Amino acid sequence: MKETVRQPAQHKVAGILLLVMILATTLAGLGLGDFLWLSGGCALTALALLWSRMRRVQRIQCFIFLGVGLLTLIWAWLAGYREIPVLQLMTQNHLLISLLSAVSFLRLITDASKEDHNTVQLGFRAFLKTLAGLHLFASVINLSALIIFGDRLSRHGRLERTAATSIQRSFSLASLWSPFFAAMGTCLLYAPGARLADLWGLSVPLCLFGFAFTLAEHRFRRGGDLEAFEGYPVNFRALWVPLIMVICVLLAHRALPSVSVLVLVSALSLVVTTAVLAWRQSLSRSLSTIRDFSCNRLPDMYGELALFLCAGIMATGLSVLVSQTAPELGIDAFTSGAAIAVLAILLTLAIIGVHALISIVATSAILAPLNPDPILLALVFIVTWSVGATGGPISGLNLAMQSRYNVKAWECFTWNIAYTLAMFTGTSVLILAAFA
């Protein structure tokens, strides 16, 4: 894969620093704790070098997160807290930043579109194939897959309802189980003790329910017209890359159960990408490709880098304040009923525009004194992220749909409101059945 985008010198340095950050995070995750300082230092320096690329709205968002974090730390200090958690401030979300950066390398070896683009596939089968293809490729290469599929399905620069809602949901449903999504990483991090395999027992059935609802909605909705749906010519031969990644992660987690899944995914993303490139080309050329990608593509992670770094500072401040002040919540335990109520609140916040990351960070800190069941808490968080992405008119996913495919904000909401309610109901029933 040849990279044609060229970055200024300072941005190339930032990209190399992000690569070093991934390596340092992996070593720290394997038990070499001193590398945490290197990981945090690289991330902060990279952000400083990339700050000029930030849009005004992104800078305002970052300043808000920083302000909340610093104010809560001051509040905690006034309440008697006498430490300065420098390392935690630097590395609260370093696993997530490394995950996002490392997974982006998989684009170098994943191609969903080698089929003949002149081939037109119509009908119900094409619809199913498109949804399955996008879902599986998005589970590894994330938003890149949605853009590849969306560009092909759009007509005159716009996606109509069936295509738009189908790819929105197919994409966001992948976050319910894929360890390669920042959503999953966030939920596992902020629900301490949650294990991916245990969460799958609940999230995978919920994912299947989401697909079943989407299929039924378009099958029976007036104007759905699945028989006339023009699908994407998916190259399922390329699915060996996602398959290998999932197998490698599961085997590595079995061999190293004490190592975070986020660390394993980050490390294996680099290892598998380098190995496949070396097999296709040569070791020297594969290393050259990794270097070029680091210099010219990793700097494009500036938005995610800033968001998670600044949110990490806010999370540190909130957790310190909560631990110091021990606020009364009015409840003694995080019951199934409480979980459903929290889910309803978080989804409402997502719909009105509060990013799921912020809701999750704040909720985790507030609920920590209750020692909630980690799987129950993780389920609430992952559903909030997944369903909020489709139901929230100004979520990152829907903003991309609006800017690239001329889908209106009100359409993102009204087209998905039934799906949002159905997923909330399905999750509530699942929680009552599993945790009551």
The full 3-state SS of the chain, as one line of letters, equals CCCCCCCCHHHHHHHHHHHHHHHHHHHHHCCCCCHHHHHHHHHHHHHHHHHHHCCHHHHHHHHHHHHHHHHHHHHHHHCCCCCCCHHHHHHCCHHHHHHHHHHHHHHHCCCCCCCCCCCCCECHHHHHHHHHHHHHHHHHHCHHHHHHHHHHHCECCECCHHHHHHHHHHHHHHHHCCCCCHHHHHHHHHCCCCCHHHHHHHHHHHHHHHHHHHHHHHHHCCCCCHHHCECCCCCHHHHHHHHHHHHHHHHHHHHCCCCCHHHHHHHHHHHHHHHHHHHHCCHHHHHHHHHHHHHHCHHHHHHHHHHHHHHHHHHHHHHHHHHHHCCCCCCCCCCHHHHHHHHHHHHHHHHCCCCHHHHHHHHHHHHHHHCCCHHHHHHHHHHHHHHHHHHCCCCHHHHHHHHHHCCCHHHHHHCCHHHHHHHHHHHHHHHHHHHC
Res 1: pLDDT: 44
Q: What is this structure's pTM?
A: 0.72
Mean pLDDT score, 226-237: 69
Say if residue 46's pLDDT is above 80.
yes
Q: What percent of the chain has pLDDT above 90?
A: 20
Res 433: pLDDT: 94
Mean pLDDT score, 366-382: 92
Q: Which residues pair with 158 in a beta bridge?
A: 155
Res 424: pLDDT: 97
Closest to 390 measured CA to CA, from 400, 381, 380 = 400
Q: What percent of the chain has pLDDT above 70?
A: 89
- For 154-178, the pLDDT digits (tens) are 777 788 888 889 989 999 999 999 8
Say if residue 339's pLDDT is above 90.
yes
Q: Which of 131-140, 236-245, 421-430 has the lowest mean pLDDT?
A: 236-245
**Residue 386, CA distances (Å) to 10, 77, 432 in order:** 35, 36, 20
Mean pLDDT score, 19-39: 88
- For 52-111, the pLDDT digits (tens) are 888 787 788 788 888 888 898 888 888 888 788 888 788 877 877 887 788 788 878 876
Query: Token digits for 138?
Result: 């998005």
Res 55: pLDDT: 79
Query: Token digits for 72?
Result: 């809560």
- For 169-207, the pLDDT digits (tens) are 999 999 999 887 878 888 898 898 999 889 999 999 999
CB 77 within 8 A of CB 325: no
CB 180 within 8 A of CB 245: yes
Q: Which of 120-124, 294-298, 422-426 has the lowest mean pLDDT?
A: 120-124
Dihedral (C-alpha) 290, 36, 29, 175: value to the nearest 10 degrees?
A: -70
Say if residue 329's pLDDT is above 60.
yes
Res 342: pLDDT: 93
Q: Which of 7-11, 25-29, 89-93, 241-245 has the lowest mean pLDDT?
A: 241-245
Q: How confident is the model at residue 359 (pLDDT cuts 50, 70, 90)?
A: confident
Q: Residue 228: phi, psi to the nearest 5?
A: -100, 5
Res 182: pLDDT: 77
AA letter at 196: L
Cα angle vertex 250, ends 110, 37, to 5°? Answer: 85
The CB density around residue 324, as the number of other CB atoms within 10 Å, is: 18
Average pLDDT over the chain reads: 83
Res 2: pLDDT: 45
Mean pLDDT score, 366-373: 88
- For 307-317, the pLDDT digits (tens) are 778 878 887 88
The CB density around residue 78, as the number of other CB atoms within 10 Å, is: 9
Closest to 179 measured CA to CA, from 272, 254, 105, 253 = 253
- Selection from 93-102, 278-287, 329-338 with the highest mean pLDDT: 278-287
Say if residue 428's pLDDT is above 90.
yes
CB 261 within 8 A of CB 249: yes
Max Cα distance, the chain (Å): 68
- For 99-151, the pLDDT digits (tens) are 778 878 887 887 655 554 455 567 788 888 888 888 987 887 677 677 778 87
Q: How confident is the model at residue 3 (pLDDT cuts 50, 70, 90)?
A: very low
Q: How confident is the model at residue 407 (pLDDT cuts 50, 70, 90)?
A: confident
Q: Whole-angstrom Cα distance, residue 294 to residue 314?
A: 28
CB 346 within 8 A of CB 388: yes
